[in-house]
Structure 1
Amino acid sequence: MTALALARSWRPKTFSQLVGQDHVVKALTHALDQGRLHHAWLFTGTRGVGKTTIARIMAKALNCTGEDGQGRMTSEPCGKCPACLEIDAGRFIDYIEMDAASNRGVDEMAQLLEKAAYVPSNARYKVYMIDEVHMLTNHAFNAMLKTLEEPPEHVKFILATTDPQKIPVTVLSRCLQFNLKQMPVPLIVEHLEKVLAAEKVEYETNALRVLAKAAQGSMRDALSLTDQAIAYAAGKVSEEAVRGMLGTLDDAYLIRILDSLITKDGATLLNISNEMGERSMSFSLALADLSSLIQKIAAAQIVPESVLEDWPEAAEIHRLASVLTKEEAQLFYQISITSRPDLSLAPDEQTGFAMTLLRMLAFRPGNETPKVGGVSNSSGNAPPAGLAPRSSAPAAPTITAAPVVVTSPVSVSSVSASAERPDWHALMRQLPVKGLVQQLAFQTELQDWHDSAAGVRAIVVTPMPQLASDASVGRLEDALKAHFGKPVKVTIAKSEKTEKGEIEVKTVAKVDAQIHQEKRQNAEQMIAQDPFIQQLEKEFGAKVVGGSVKPL
């Protein structure tokens, strides 16, 4: 006989067996015990958190007759009466599960509602469970509105979805809505320990932590991964076997990466990347694990008690929190999370991962810049990301061996980054600011730049001083501080005036608009000179609508 998957054999059959959804269980059991039942419930939440399971338990609770056949509706279904047994077996005629993903049209909904008018065959209530209800068409939603609001007394609706934002408000307002929570890692680990103990499978607790983290809040995914791990390990479910199955890093790799960043050992960073490639590890998951570890380190720096002593990596987290500065932890975290999407753009994932580690090393606060052309950078900092100092004779990018750091092109005559003004327009375009702060950044022009060891003073002008509130200027200064690794004071100066009026301020927005205008004019000129367009105009009187041409 084929064994059932753990996710099926360990599906909860009563409310007391449900894990992690106490807020939903409490509301439903009270409603059942008091007989105050709504006619429609909506369960929302990610996959594998118990939506369908709760629907089946509700169907049993509504129709349970007890072992003696005389029982009433209850919050504790017996599991032994015909209704309970048939619902668990999936053959109860008055419990209908419908998949809206494959039955999403108005015709299918009309057939369902037509059958709803008939009384149950052998139950108190006819229960309709519509899964992934957000997949229904608008016409199907409209068809069910009236019945959903005032169904026959013998009908109950249970709707489930992973995407409640796509459900019309008219439907939401007719249902009691319950949002099911994602399962936290400790809760999943605790449940897996019970399951494996009952299944008489040996395991390592750290292996279960890895499985729980990979499940991303889904208990069903956790059980499915555990099934896979049992088959993969062919015995004891060990951490090494689970990491090999998932292609994830163990903490030793992550600690080595951070230690190499601390010691500025670029060669070791590249060796670690090569080792991971040889073991076919997932570089995307590696960055996720690295960012998770750095987050714990950053938290330990601010709130030391946030580190739980039963974590295997607790001692290393405390050690790294004392060695890394807060700025370094924040920078490494930011680079690790922003680099994950870039892996798909790299020549291959290993190259993208290696460049991420080198980026952390190159822009580590206070990092020494390699010598270029025999002269070192006197500022002690690598040029800001995406900005190269102005130069009339740029030198080729240079790579040194220990540590391996890639520098932006600089010239021998302008190696002092502190003496060079940045390309303000390029800098404003790349700063991670939004809303009013971005509008302020785009409406400025740099007038003067004073760079010293203590910090930077930037004097800018803007044609829209109303944007330069204290809050907006402060947030712009914070973004510049994070970019350059030292304080930046932004002073808003008044525009200079002449007899003919104010001097035109070449803001980022104005320069961008001029560039776009030039591109549009060039595109319009190319369209006008196109032989095919000229033929259409000549033979059919066609005209190009003004302003409709947009440059690529």
Structure 2
Amino acid sequence: MSESDPAFDLGEPPQPAAADPYRVLARKYRPQTFKELVGQDAMVTTLENAIKRGRLAHAFLLTGIRGTGKTSTARLIAKALNCVGPDGQGGPTIDPCGVCEPCRSIAEGRNIDVIEMDAASHTGVDDMRAVIDAARLAAFGARFKIYIIDEVHMLSRNAFNALLKTLEEPPAHVKFLLATTEVNKVPVTVLSRCQRFDLRRIPAEKLAAHFTHVLSLEGVEAEPEALALIARAAEGSARDGLSILDQAIAHASLDGGGVRADAVREMLGLSDRGAVRTVLGQVLAADAAAALASLRAQYSLGVDPQAVFRGLLETVHGITLAKVGTPPDAAQPLEEQAAVADWAGRLSFAVLHRLWQLLLKGHDEIARAALPIEAAEMALLRVIHASTLPDPADLARQLASGVAPSPTASAPAPAPAPAPAPAPAEAALPGTIEAIVDLLANSREQALASRLEYHASVVRLDGSELVLSAARPLPADLVGETAATLKRVTGRPWKVTTDPAPGEPTIRDQAAAHLARTEAQLRAAPAVAAAFDAFPDAQFAEGEVERIAHQRREA
């Protein structure tokens, strides 16, 4: 037999099957139903009610940060409005079937009646004229012709103006879905013609739960702390979070360990939470050498100094929230929750606020510095130095009591001033707020006396019953502190309450009014008035009006 005989034709050699191209997680798990849309329940409820009642707007504006689902929501609305159901007899629904031709073609991006435009590359008025002309034509096969215009704020002013009339009164078969990340750049004339939906940042706990679901479908294991780190780094964006998760899976070792927290920290350049707590503890202990060594150790591991300060800020913020009674973050490890609770019990609000301001200033300085690690060290030393200073309120008490303040007083929890011996029960009670302030000042309670001067507007004072006006906001602890201190000073129980009725002017208000009257009287004197007429920019010598007002008050 010859080689040309058909019996020798073995056909083409077998070819390897072509591998499906990899789809990144952000595309693979793009929501296909409203139930899969993460963190936007309020918007879904509004759309559901509008569809059920047949109250569909002709134009929708979807706003929000990147990755919250604006374009996905627009496509879902397009499917919801055009779905005909598996039997072809359905109407608009919040739960599109996903199997009818409109649903499948929209999901695959091939529906001729759903037109997606990127306003960044179609900014001109001619592009809008093309949209307007095409909008007059009926839909080819769908119920509605839908225009999805992404990043609509990129349109030019003339393009917006050209679109206005059609946007306000489009044909009955046309719907406009506009999406933007910068709603402040969209003209008010456009905003007023659209039904607006603000897509919110997705909470970190919901993102972490979503990532857990995605990983279960992908067959990949991950530590809960790793997912919490990714969720925080995503800053409310599902797309950003899935992109980081994709990178973390690729970064994970091939030994089956899955996505680990330490690998995620290394990948993102984040400071270890335990290391941050160590640095904060050293700062509060004023151990400068140890704090600088810990900072350098993090820097040697590749951690950005700014990230260390960001971690310190997050920790101080968490301590402050714990101090006011906010429930702990479930995503926090137990050891971090315990450390935060311990610090919240030991540190005063004044110390926490001071730490926050100093760390925030250091964080901003590092961002602008030519030498970031050196700037971080200097900022950390400034925080440590400030932590050794006494609390201002404690300092004021010591100065008022005549006790020299200690130069090495530690910041946390100022010690209360020694309580004076109780007055005998038969001592006369103060009859005015001025008398109460004088009594407190003479009893080494200068701080409370000053607060009452500023805030105490008396509605009624009868014996040991004091009613303060709440017409203006009062400090939260003023009423309780006043009652307790007056009981200790006078030896009698005091009832201190508030009433919304307006009260007498505070001592400071009275002093300010007296000062204003004194200055007005001085300016009205003929010689002084003539001097000011001759020299319009002249001013009284510093403190002179106060001195004269004091003399007149004493007289």
Q: Deviations over 1:442-489 (max 9, x none)?
A: xxxxxxxxxx9978x99xxxxxxxxxxxx99x99xxxxxxxxxxxxx9
1:197 counterpart (213, 216, 227): 216
Which of 43, 49, 52 is matched with 1:24 structurally?
Answer: 43
- Per the TM alignment, residue 109 of structure 1 is displaced from its structure 2 partner at its CA by 1.0
- Superposed CA RMSD in Å reads 3.4
Contact 1:366 1:380 in 2 (8 A): no
In the TM superposition, what is the alpha-carbon distance from 1:302 to its structure 2 partner?
2.2
Match in the other structure for 1:257: 279
Give me the whole-angstrom Cα distance separating, in 2, the residues matched to 1:335 and 1:190: 35
Structural mapping, 1:294-333, within 5 Å: 294-303=316-325, 305-308=326-329, 311-312=332-333, 313-333=336-356
Q: Counterpart of 1:70?
A: 89
8 Å Cα contact 1:94/1:120 also seen in 2:
yes
Would the aligned equivalents of 2:279 and 2:295 in 1 still touch at CA under 8 Å? no
Q: Secondary structure at the match of 1:41?
A: strand
Q: Post-superposition shift, 1:53?
A: 0.6
- Please tell me whether residue 336 in structure 1 is matched to residue 359 in structure 2: yes
For residue 350 of structure 1, what is the amino acid of its counterpart?
I
Structure 1 453/350 Cα, relative in aligned 2: closer, same or farther at 3 Å?
A: farther
- The answer to whether the Cα contact below 8 Å between 1:104 and 1:135 also exists between their aligned partners in 2 is yes
Secondary structure of 1:306's partner?
A: coil
For residue 89 of structure 1, what is the aligned residue in structure 2? Answer: 108
- Measured after TM superposition, the shift of residue 183 of structure 1 is 0.4
- 1:224 Cα deviation after fit: 0.7
Q: Tell me: CA distance 1:135–1:506, structure 2 relative to 1, closer, same or farther (3 Å).
A: farther
Counterpart in the other structure of 1:246: 268
Aligned-residue sequence identity (percent) comes to 40
Which amino acid in 1 is paired with 2:389? G
Q: CA deviation at 1:269?
A: 1.3
The question of whether the paired residues in 1 share the 8 Å contact of 2:228 and 2:331 is answered with: no
Matched, 1:56 2:79: no
Q: For residue 348 of structure 1, what is the aligned residue in structure 2?
A: 371
Unaligned runs of 5+ in 1: 369-377, 383-402, 404-451, 459-470, 476-488, 508-552
Is the 1:328–1:365 contact (alpha carbons within 8 Å) kept by the matching residues of 2? no
SS at match of 2:129: helix
The offset of 1:225, in angstroms, is 0.6
Report the secondary structure of 2:387's partner residue. Answer: coil
Structure 2 match to 1:468 = none
1:271-318, CA deviations, whole angstroms, 9 ceiling, x for partnerless residues? Answer: 122112211212223222221111111121221x52246621111111
Q: TM-score, normalised by structure 1?
A: 0.68
Q: How does 1:132-211 map to 2 (within 5 A)?
A: 132-211=151-230
Report the Cα distance in structure 1 between the residues aligned to 2:368 and 2:181, rounded to whole angstroms.
Answer: 30
CA contact (8 A) 1:51 1:180 kept: yes
* Pair 1:310–1:27, CA change in 2 (3 A): closer
| C-alpha distance 505-222 of structure 1, shift in aligned 2 (>3 A) | farther
Contact 1:59–1:127 (8 Å) recurs in 2: yes
Equivalent residue in structure 1 for 2:288, among 260, 266, 271: 266
> Which whole-Å CA distance do the structure 1 matches of 2:229 and 2:331 have between them?
15
The alpha carbon displacement at 1:198 in A equals: 1.4
The aligned counterpart of 1:441 is none
Q: Distance in 2 between matches of 1:205 and 1:41?
A: 38
Contact 1:262-1:324 within 8 A present in 2 as well = no
Which SS does the other structure have where 1:363 is aligned?
Answer: helix
| Alpha-carbon distance, 1:33 to partner | 2.5
Which amino acid in the other structure matches residue 169 of structure 1? V
Q: Secondary structure at the match of 1:221?
A: helix
User: In 2, Cα distance between the equivalents of 1:268 and 1:54?
Assistant: 51
* Structure 1 residues 252 and 9, CA gap change in structure 2 (3 angstroms): same
Matching residue of 1:212: 231
Question: How many Å apart are 1:159 and its aligned residue?
Answer: 0.7
Q: Is the 8 A contact 1:249 1:289 kept in 2?
A: yes
Given the alignment, which residue of 338, 355, 359 partners 2:382? 359
3-state SS in 2 of match to 1:97 = strand
Matched AA of 2:42: H
Alpha-carbon distance between aligned partners in 1 of 2:272 and 2:125, rounded to the nearest angstrom? 51
- Structure 2 residue identity aligned to 1:68: D
Q: Within 5 Å, which residues of 2 pair with 1:396-407?
A: none
Equivalent runs, 1:523-538 vs 2, <5 Å: none
Taking the aligned partners of 1:106 and 1:91, their CA distance within structure 2 comes to: 26
C-alpha distance in structure 2 between counterparts of 1:310 and 1:140, whole Å? 47
Q: Is residue 18 of structure 2 the alignment partner of residue 5 of structure 1?
A: no
Q: Counterpart in 2 of 1:229?
A: 248
Give, in whole Å, the separation in 2 of the partners of 1:266 and 1:366: 15
CA offsets per residue over residues 37-81 of structure 1, 9 Å max, x none? 111011111111111011101111111222333332222111112
1:45 aligns to what? 64
Change (3 A) 1:88 1:333: same
The aligned residue for residue 503 of structure 2 is none
Residues 279 and 291 of structure 2 are in contact (CA less than 8 Å); yes or no, is this contact kept in structure 1? Answer: yes
User: Aligned letter for 2:102?
Assistant: A
Ranges in structure 2 where 5+ consecutive residues have no aligned partner: 1-19, 392-403, 411-443, 451-470, 476-506, 530-537, 543-555
- Provide the rounded CA distance (Å) in 2 between the counterparts of 1:94 and 1:29: 22
In 1, Cα distance between the equivalents of 2:229 and 2:154? Answer: 33
Alignment pair present for 1:130 and 2:149: yes
What is the CA–CA distance in structure 2 between the aligned matches of 1:7 and 1:164, rounded to whole Å? Answer: 24
Q: Would you say the 8 A contact 1:327–1:365 is kept in 2? A: no
| Equivalent AA in structure 2 for residue 274 of structure 1 | R
Task: Look up the equivalent residue of 1:249 and give its one-letter code.
Answer: S
Q: Is the contact between residue 306 and residue 367 of structure 2 (CA under 8 Å) also seen in structure 1?
A: no
> Which residue identity is paired with 2:117?
M
1:505, distance to aligned residue in structure 2 (A)? 5.2
**Which of 284, 299, 307 is matched with 2:306 structurally?**
284
**Matched letter for residue 327 of structure 2:** S
Query: What amino acid is the match of 2:380?
Result: L
Shift of 1:84: 1.4
